[in-house]
Structure 1
């Protein structure tokens, strides 16, 4: 009784109506409308697994599971068992249902990772021979077909012949007696063929009058010439009807013979449709599968960004307001949560959201919350939720709540006693995986009861109380609420209660099993935010709300003075805690954003390092390949010289020629000796960042060092001149001091021969504008390799900031195949183009 009231208070029927819209069949919709929470944890686990497996199939299959052809044939099966006669339409519905379930079973059998669904359809029999027999005897319109039996086909052939003869006779009469006929048509009255005759001339066509028009001007006459044929037609029609009934009777008997299997098939189809509706509804809600936890094992209830499913529907289909999610995280030691806060702040909605989340998990629905979704399996969800936000608070209202709470306590007591008996006396018969969790919970309860046999086991129930203790004198109501919550802390697994009583806020500091929560209130807008805050008691804000709703300010001020300083001080402390929590949440969001940014930058740097390593490896492989090819070619040339020397006359002249050839090969193949690398030194340039150790500062170079080793730097807003000896690079290298040289006499300029003109083509030109230095080095290496035979390489790097040009010049300085390089003439690009001369 009380559980039914709870379902009504939580508006469970509305959620079932929404679920039914996702069903594909009438059976599935009916099952969704009458969906009830299961009684055991193992049932809930099976239902949840069904939903998960269908969810996977829906995502994997192109068009999802199809229930085409499956109909509600329950009444037909009942009538067939009672030896009633099924019509052709009913038999056809049975055949299409068999075909639809067979297609479903075939789809499920093709999947390997849906064991629960495979087990569900494993024992289903779809009787293809019965389906074929029905389709053979019944056509698409639901009529018995001529092919059903030779006798029926013969009868219908005779009927057609008689009907044609009747039409011939009547057509002749219409032609001969055209003046007496009202219309040139042949019609029927009952099962007799008649023609419309003018009333004054009815004697012109002798026959039987079967009907008269409303005006009396027309009579419908069956001519005597066809009476005998019509009688024969009636006899054959009765024969046809008798044969059709015999065929339908035989098919009905076949259906009745397999009624239990067909009922099981119908139940499986309904279960599959209901599971599919749950999966599709869960997908629409953007919900996630729940995991049932064991609070006695220390697991925490976790429901992040939990949304009320009915409010989500209202927002999507009825243009409602956006749904504000709540966060629920209840430690395993907590038995009672007291939610406080202003009126219209969302306390009642929070209770209903928690209750619906627990019920949805029990029936196998996903919960509209962010993963992970972790909550206990509650054997009972019991609620006392009413509209206490009205001035009509009377004794009758209070007594009604007390009677409902009494039924809640009675249900908890009965469940607790039953749990004790089951725990101490029930044999261990659970051997499958689904029952393992139930058995572990029973073991824990048994251990607890053996240690404390006098203490009843707490009921695995969720109790939801709205405005507990309201409706009577505040002092007595507060005392009653405290006693009730302390009793529930001993007897129920979890109780969530809303209240305005300040005394309930203090229970947290007296009993560790209690926790406070509040709905947030924005002091600046005097509006509730509907967010749930944990660990902080809420303020009623009644005076602020009254002022916002337009109550006389003098009345509000007078009420404020009557409250007293202590209450105002408590409100200020709570307001401070709320402000501190908001600041912490803001900082937490900023820290999360910084962490995400750091992770993103780390990923970018890792990707860039990986690309550089790959390029370096590619360059090494290409260089090794080139060296190997050069060695092979050199060996072949040397072998050719040796063969020539061996085949010719052994003379000093030939030996000298061979020696010269080998020297020429060596000069051509052996790499030129590289100049000895100089010890690296640091020379600051304009724009570089350097360190000044004695000032412990990082600065930017504004001017290059002069002959005296002085340079101008800037750090912050300050500019100063420092010596090279006072600075170092960011990686700790000391600066190289300039060496003063005596001026040497200017050499006599020599007449240089004009350089050979350098021709610029597409083959010896590369464009690396807009690239990073690391990316440009790879293209430079390729360009140098391709332009080696041409002798020159034009590099277009653009002007810009000059960093790319500096990087290109640094690369060319250390490349072994570059002899020298210079900036191009102004007409060829100037400082935006570098001309490299290759060896």
Structure 2
């Protein structure tokens, strides 16, 4: 298919609409590369898969293919021995999980719907259960290695957590009691990846150890106490060991992926193809398109055809037929009557159908399969090539005549226009004769009356026109095949007020055969309208009957399927109840038999009564009311303003300030005031009240933090750690507002920043920066 026709008929916009419905990288590539096919078998196959996709969309909501990134670069790297990172392994894992989900989906779908074309495609997926289990166990959705990735990694991470807890516990001793008076603030923070406390400058020697930083004023030193130095050293060693083990695991997992690179590539391609089929079905639903029948003989019959890029509420549908009884159509009519749009509708619907897409036309429409579609539409003048409008059109027509064959479709708009009318009409007739001699199908629009006679006298050619309402002096945009357009100049002039004698004098100046032609056209129009009215009524009744039949069939299938589903559920529940009761009854009977054998005598009456009671107890008993002791204990735990409570989530003790609602309290935890759920609070007595724990923050910078934090280029884990440290530093510095720059990228860091800010109780609100300050690549945070 020549590329120029795709631009002329705006096929690119169809591809863009398809790309808006795909969710995978491979699906997007397929939609972007979509082109019409000239092979009948290929066209039928692609339309069949679209039909299957539409049926699946209607029945289940579509094939369950989630958003998938392109894993091709990762597979190419792993083939040459490269080590994949966590995100690449997570992407591979998502593909493997999707393969399993899609396979299960089609196994279930086989009992409800016949979708042979798409099911055969899904059957080519290769499930790799062992590799899937390994990757799912070792890598989470964000690409982070799990603790179960290896026993050694789990052990090291446990050691890291234990050391961090020990250090925190030891450091908290400095923030409470007598040592707290030497601190600027009773908090724990981090400098140079080591835990430190803010010490007043005059007490720098009180704790010994190492000074890592100082405040902007110099009044506060961030000191790592001597007692903590060794533990911080051991923590750093454990963190390095964790990194080393992680790199070893990534290499090991990459080696396991490498042998299956081909299967994974094929799986990704097939999932992209299924995603593309989903997109075709969704787009068909959006434009209310239907599946066309394919004619190998190129007999085109488009019923109520609409241009897909026009407003469906305003476009006028038309029936367009070509190829069966005639291979050429000459369309005449006034300007702005819809001739060009009709040409484009025919051409674009042909391209869509040959590309395997449904077309915006009524069910039962038929398309051909042309080897090529050519068009000369629009103003072809070119300043660069020094071509006038006529010259531009003629150059295009020459190119078309050089390339067309018997299976081509040619669309001419205003054929022969741009030059002397007499010469233009003669050229138009000669060009149409040349196209007809080649056997190609052609549709041409024109203003020349000579072509009306050509359409009437030439075998295999028919006249058509765009209807014009002389009462309203407006075009109706309806195509009338078999009726040539007639001049409306006299009628329009009379209705606009031109004197009748002038109009009559004008009529007398034209030849009698023109009058006869116009009268013939008027009679044909009247006959056409009567036949068309009857045709549309018949079509309406047929459509209503077919819709009713389809609705009844669909309702019956749904009823049958739901009945079978509910019966299966009921049987499963009944069997489960019977099995449970039978097992308990068998147990009771067994006990009776054992008792009888042990006593060597018949069962006594009281024993039978006891067995009967046990069988009766198989019925579910009513719930026991809560006893008084539990109610009294619950009353003791009722919370009041001013009570001392412990947060089970944070492990800190604070004071109840006020009750926010039935399930939340406002609690003062040290220097922080938070809203916590009642279920998270445990009332403590004054005697056992521990010293309030202080919130651990993380800050960076030698002279106080900047009001802006830039996370671009950081890995996800490092970025989240920096964000946590920075927010604590900003709170310590008393900043009312800061800016976090995270960029756009893949969106992972931006999503992580959003998740963190939502969970931080000290954040009042946040949102993206204005467009002139970074837009979606930066987030402005305001504190309480």
- State the TM bucket, normalised to the shorter chain: 0.5 to 0.7
Q: Would the alpha carbon gap of residues 527 and 171 (structure 1) be closer, same or farther in structure 2, given more than 3 Å must change?
A: same
Secondary structure of 1:372's counterpart equals: coil
Answering whether residue 410 of structure 2 is matched by residue 396 of structure 1, we say no
- Residues 121-200 of structure 1: pairs in structure 2 closer than 5 A: 121-175=122-176, 176-199=178-201
Q: Deviations over 1:362-385 (max 9, x none)?
A: 122222222322221112222222
Q: CA deviation at 1:522?
A: 0.6
Report what 1:337 is aligned to: 329
CA contact under 8 A between 2:413 and 2:446: conserved in structure 1?
yes
Distance 1:100 1:121 in 2: 11
- Residue 534, structure 1, aligned to residue 481, structure 2: yes
Shift of 1:534: 0.5
1:210 Cα offset (Å): 3.6
Deviation at 1:90, TM superposition (A): 3.0
Who is 1:781 aligned against? Answer: none
CA distance in 1, matches of 2:48, 2:322: 26
Q: Is the aligned partner of 1:55 residue 2:36?
A: no
Tell me by how many angstroms 1:243 deviates.
0.8
Question: Residues of 1 paired with 2:131 and 2:493: CA distance?
Answer: 74
1:507 alignment counterpart: 454
Gaps in structure 1 of 5+ consecutive residues: 316-320, 417-457, 598-839
User: Where do residues 437-476 of structure 1 align in structure 2 (5 Å cutoff)?
Assistant: 458=406, 460-476=407-423
Counterpart Cα distance in 2 of 1:486 and 1:68: 54
Residue 258 of structure 2 is matched in structure 1 by 256
**What is the distance in 2 between the residues matched to 1:132 and 1:506?**
76
Deviations 1:465-512 (A, max 9, x none): 222222333333323322222222222521112221222222223321
CA distance in 1 between partners of 2:128 and 2:183 (Å): 57
Displacement of 1:140 in angstroms is 4.4
Q: Distance in 2 between matches of 1:103 and 1:337?
A: 52
- Identify which of 104, 112, 115 aligns with 2:102: 104
After superposition, the C-alpha distances for 1:560-611 in whole angstroms (9 at most, x for unaligned) are 94994235654444233223322343455678899999xxxxxxxxxxxxxx
What CA RMSD, in Å, does the superposition of the two structures yield over aligned residues?
3.5
> How big is the shift at 1:136?
1.0
Matched residue SS, 1:332: coil
Q: Is the 8 A contact 1:516 1:537 kept in 2?
A: yes
TM-score, structure 1 length as denominator?
A: 0.58
TM alignment of 1:354-369, pairs within 5 A: 354-369=346-361
Q: Provide the rounded CA distance (Å) in 2 between the counterparts of 1:98 and 1:146.
A: 21
Task: Verify the 8 A CA contact 1:69 1:97 in the aligned structure 2.
Answer: no
Q: How does 1:113-124 map to 2 (within 5 A)?
A: 113-124=114-125
Q: Which deviations, in whole Å up to 9, do the C-alpha atoms of 1:647-673 show, x marking residues without a partner? A: xxxxxxxxxxxxxxxxxxxxxxxxxxx
Unaligned runs of 5+ in 2: 545-784
Question: What does 1:353-752 correspond to in 2, within 5 Å?
Answer: 353-386=345-378, 395-412=387-404, 416=405, 458=406, 460-491=407-438, 493-539=440-486, 541=488, 561=506, 564-566=509-511, 567=514, 570-586=517-533
Q: Distance in 2 between matches of 1:214 and 1:541?
A: 89
Deviation at 1:274, TM superposition (A): 1.6
Which residue of the partner structure matches residue 705 of structure 1?
A: none
Find the aligned partners of 1:236 and 1:290 in 2 and give their Cα distance.
Answer: 67
For 2:453 and 2:134, the matched residues in 1 are separated by: 76
- Counterparts of 1:169 and 1:367, CA distance in 2: 73
Following superposition, the deviation at residue 531 of structure 1 comes to 0.8
Residue in 2 aligned with 1:703? none
Counterpart position of 1:420: none
Secondary structure, aligned partner of 2:134: helix
Q: Which has the higher contact order (CA 8 A, sep 6+)?
A: 2
Residue-by-residue CA offset, 1:173-226 (whole Å, 9 max, x unaligned): 334542342222222234222223345654555444444445555443333443
Cα distance in 2 for partners of 1:478, 1:36 equals 35
Aligned pair count reads 534
Shift of 1:241: 0.8
2:554 match: none
| 2:729 matched residue in structure 1 | none
In the alignment, what sits opposite 2:225? 223
In 1, distance between residues paired with 2:533 and 2:521?
18
Task: Indicate the SS of the match to 1:383.
Answer: strand
Tell me how far apart the structure 2 counterparts of residues 4 and 562 of structure 1 sit (CA, whole Å). Answer: 48
Determine if contact 1:380/1:462 at 8 Å carries over to the other structure.
Answer: yes
CA gap of 1:139–1:103, structure 2 versus 1, over 3 A, is: closer
Who is 1:305 aligned against?
Answer: 304
SS of 2:154's equivalent in the other structure is helix
Three-state SS of the structure 2 residue aligned to 1:278 is helix
